[in-house]
Structure 1
Amino acid sequence: MNTALSSRRQFLQRSSRALASGLLAVPALQAVEALPKSETLVQQLYGSLKEEQRKLLCFGWEDARRLKVDNNWHITPQKIGEVLGADQQDLVRQIFDGLHSEEYKKEVWRQFDQDNKSDGGFASSSIALFGQPGSGKFEFVLTGRHCTRRCDGNSETGTAFGGPIFYGHAAKGFYEKPDHAGNAYWYQAKRANEVFQALDGRQRQLALKGDSREETGNKTVKLTGKTSGLDGIPMTELTADQKGLVRQVLGDLLKPFRPEDAKESLQYIEAAGFDHLHMAFYQNQDVGKDGVWDVWQIEGPSMIWYFRGDPHVHCWAHIKEKA
């Protein structure tokens, strides 16, 4: 038998025994198995950590870092390659992999590997665990360049993805050309521009704005609770067909993520009132001045999805049931 495979199986068996024996204060192994795969793997990772590792990576639920988001940061100073063993790093890879859809995970990995190659690849990312998996609220957060992802088993009530997330890509250098060749997420802007093309002259005037919001960490995705007065054209100004196209774009934005997170996100958006959404395109940040809007956003009272394709792609997302 392959030595690495045998080692991996033994590790998982030990982790499962730890869970079953109550080391994580799990009421029953069946409850663990009922969780989505990534959440189960978070529990296995937590069970595998030694005390010195927990001191570096594990924090209380109320720690302010739990809900922090940014475009290029490390939630702990220690990179996983410095603090986790090979089997534990493999678990982290599986957790991250499981947060994405089968359709898009290959592209997500291509983006992550390209953007973090100079820093040491996946081993250069950092993680933190908040709360205690298996005994109540918990949240796993992974960060790196162009990456903030979360896994919380719905511990953060009424919040998609467990909190705000970030993804992006600089496919062929810091300053991408107008076509954003090779960018894993440029397809999303192309779909959004289809909405703009479907607007008439008056609607385009409502949708077009000058400069977009600044990127300032959590302030970038601060929810206002407002149903009017947001940037861009409100959905009440669109025809039924145009609204249908916006709904398709929302679905396309969510395609890289696992189905349960995509479904929850759409449910929250609809529950808060689809007609309260506004869609804006920012003409002063048009790369190449080609009339294909590189920077745009969809915002409502309790959600924002901000796509900034200048000078390369940054995406900020925050969706809640209520602001």
Structure 2
Amino acid sequence: MTFKKNSKSIAPRENENELCFNRFSRRDFVKTLGVGAAASLLPNVITLAEETSTKQIPQVESEKLVAKLYESFTPEQKSSICFDWNHLKDGSPLRLRVANNWQITDKLVRSDFYTKDQQEMIEAIVFNIYSPEWRGKIRQEMNDDCGGFGEEHSIALFGDPAADKFEFVFAGRHLTVRCDGNTTENVAFGGPIFYGHDPHGEFNEPADHPDNVFWEQGIKANRLYEMLDGKQRAVALKQELPAEDQVHFRKAEEEIPGLRVSEMSADQQEHMELVLKSLVEPYRQTDQAEVLTCLKAQGGLENCRLTFYQPGDIGNDQVWDNWRLEGPAFVWHFRGAPHVHVWANVADDPSVKISTG
């Protein structure tokens, strides 16, 4: 089995590396954020281009910007996009919903509902949830799938950033991401997340997924499959593909299918750690650490199982486009056919409930 590299490198798009601060000046930042907070954050407020070339520079703290964004809202804005912590929709907490293509509220970020400064703060909050190395890729996903940042995205804010609990949710086509300052108990990322990419807008991707910014994760997982022996492959490869949004945690009595990581050889386990790293590396270090803490609480990576699915093998090349890493309170479902959709749900307690669809 051989792996094809993407046929061409990902070409930068116009202004791809210019984060929101290209227009939101430092003077405006001080005015909006306040002198005290700005003094501590100003050295870190830089463009994405600068961060890409100097990756050691710390990130802006998204939580502090969420607080200032909340303070900037008018009463009319708050009535449309701000909710109580436990606000329900269809009987489930709205803040814990995740879907592959949705808006959490009906107010698009790139609309006159928000001021220019608010739009730029929202952009800063979102991109600082990601690691500097991944921001250009996330920008490309938004450009390809939505026509740019905020064009098909909306936000909601639950609770009060000045109180004990709050959560900022950003949602749109192929993206759900959260910022909660670690105030949401028992979960990583503030709740379930979603990411996907359809780079050419053709819905059905070729087998090598050219230009898909997330397919590198699929390549790493399939390299591990290559390392498995025949008996291990028989356990890891399944014929029945679950629904992609089935990322709820199983009941204690339910057996998780797939090959247990603890039953892999030392070199296979080492590569499995690289697969896990590839899954979490798009996100800031605090979220990465939260994932590992949750995973450790449920027995660690060795207590997870890896499954590959034969259905949906694009090109019938046995490079499995659909696969899943799952533990008692950890689900990372990678659907690569017909194009990439990825659902992640991570907690330290399998009793945590979410809402999908």
Q: One fold, TM greater than 0.5? A: yes
Tell me what 2:278 maps to.
252
Tell me what 1:171 maps to.
199
Tell me what 1:43 maps to.
67
SS in 2 for 1:75: coil
Tell me what 2:29 maps to.
12
Say if 1:85 and 1:204 are closer, same or farther in 2 by CA, change over 3 A.
same
Tell me what 2:85 maps to.
61
State the AA in 2 paired with 1:60: D
Superposition pairs for residues 1-323 of structure 1, below 5 Å?
A: 8-9=25-26, 11-17=28-34, 37-63=61-87, 64-82=93-111, 83-117=113-147, 121-172=149-200, 173-216=202-245, 220-224=246-250, 226=252, 229-273=255-299, 274-323=301-350
Name which of structure 1's ranges 35-44 and 248-257 shifts more when overlaid on structure 2. 35-44
What is the alpha-carbon root mean square deviation over aligned residues? 2.3
CA distance in 2, matches of 1:304, 1:226: 15
More helix by share: 1
SS in 1 for 2:182: coil
Tell me what 1:25 maps to.
none
1:114 Cα deviation from its structure 2 partner: 0.9
1:16 Cα deviation from its structure 2 partner: 3.0
CA distance in 2, matches of 1:268, 1:228: 20
SS in 2 for 1:267: helix
* TM-score (normalised: structure 1): 0.88
CA distance in 2, matches of 1:314, 1:19: 41
1:7 Cα deviation from its structure 2 partner: 6.8
CA distance in 1, matches of 2:259, 2:268: 12
Say if 1:110 and 1:14 are closer, same or farther in 2 by CA, change over 3 A.
same
Paired residues of 2:103 and 2:152 also in contact (CA < 8 A): no
State the AA in 2 paired with 1:54: K
- Kindly, what percent of the aligned residue pairs are identical? 39
1:276 Cα deviation from its structure 2 partner: 2.0
* TM-score (normalised: structure 2): 0.80
Say if 1:226 and 1:244 are closer, same or farther in 2 by CA, change over 3 A.
farther
CA distance in 2, matches of 1:151, 1:254: 15
1:8 Cα deviation from its structure 2 partner: 4.2
State the AA in 2 paired with 1:84: Y
Paired residues of 2:244 and 2:335 also in contact (CA < 8 A): no
CA distance in 2, matches of 1:215, 1:203: 24
Name which of structure 1's ranges 77-86 and 201-210 shifts more when overlaid on structure 2. 77-86
1:241 Cα deviation from its structure 2 partner: 1.7
State the AA in 1 paired with 2:180: D
Paired residues of 2:167 and 2:179 also in contact (CA < 8 A): yes
State the AA in 2 paired with 1:149: V
Paired residues of 1:225 and 1:300 also in contact (CA < 8 A): no
1:233 Cα deviation from its structure 2 partner: 0.9
Say if 1:6 and 1:266 are closer, same or farther in 2 by CA, change over 3 A.
closer
Q: How far does the alpha carbon of each residue in 1:136-185 deviate from its partner, in whole angstroms, 9 at most, with x for none?
A: 20000000100000000011112110000000000122100000000000
CA distance in 1, matches of 2:284, 2:218: 20
Paired residues of 2:139 and 2:149 also in contact (CA < 8 A): no
1:226 Cα deviation from its structure 2 partner: 4.1
Number of aligned positions between the proteins: 304
User: Structure 1: 5+ residue runs without aligned partners?
Assistant: 21-28
Paired residues of 2:33 and 2:65 also in contact (CA < 8 A): no
Q: How far does the alpha carbon of each residue in 1:172-227 deviate from its partner, in whole angstroms, 9 at most, with x for none?
A: 221000000000000000000011111000000000001321134xxx22012548
